[in-house]
Each structure stands twice: as structure tokens, then as C-alpha cells.
Amino acid sequence: MNKTELINQIAESADISKAAAGNVLNGITDAITDSLQKGENVTLIGFGTFSSVKRNARTGRNPQTGKPMKIPAKTVVKFKAGKKLSDTVK
């Protein structure tokens, strides 16, 4: 499912226009992004938790040459599915 299909499904299930559904989806993603940038977790009970985690710098290997290379530190986003979502997908 892509963003357009998700907007269509939201509009249909909430009985709102596609434009309104698009605004809602953009608002949700913006709010999650803003919270993660601040270092806050976003927990949606039954769905899951979004969090940001810092990865330390490390040494890896170039798969083509086998030579060691430095991989810089960075912050990544993690998602842990909630129990209800996990049980539903099983």
C-alpha cells in the first residue's frame, strides 16, 4: 500500500474527503517526525512505539574490496510493534 492508497482508505473508513484524509495523514507524520527529532518516543497503544536510537561509530568492511572502512555514528528510527498489531498480523 502506498500513501495515495492509504489516504483513500482513511477517507472511505472515516467518511471524509480525500483532501481531509491527506491533511490528517500529513499531520500525523509531521507530529511523529517532530517528536522523534526532539528525542521523544511516540507510543500508539495497540499499534506500536516509534523511537530514535543513536548508533555509535564503528568499523565495517567494504563488501567489494574487503578493506576496513569507518561507519560514522548516526541516529536511526526504530519501530516496535504493539501486542494487538503483532497478534493481528500473525
pLDDT tens-digit series, residues 34-73: 999 999 999 999 999 999 999 999 999 999 999 999 999 9
Joined grid coordinates for residue 31:
507530529
User: Into how many domains does the chain fold?
Assistant: 2
33 & 15 share domain: yes
Shared domain for 12 and 51, answered yes or no, is no
Q: Does 55 share its domain with 67?
A: yes
Q: What is the pTM of this model?
A: 0.79
Asked whether residue 82 falls in the same domain as residue 56, the answer is yes
Based on its alpha-carbon atoms, the radius of gyration of the chain, rounded to whole angstroms, reads 18
> Which domain range does residue 64 map to?
41-90
Query: Cell numbers at residue 85, please?
Result: 498489531
Q: Is-contact 56 73, C-beta < 8 A?
A: yes
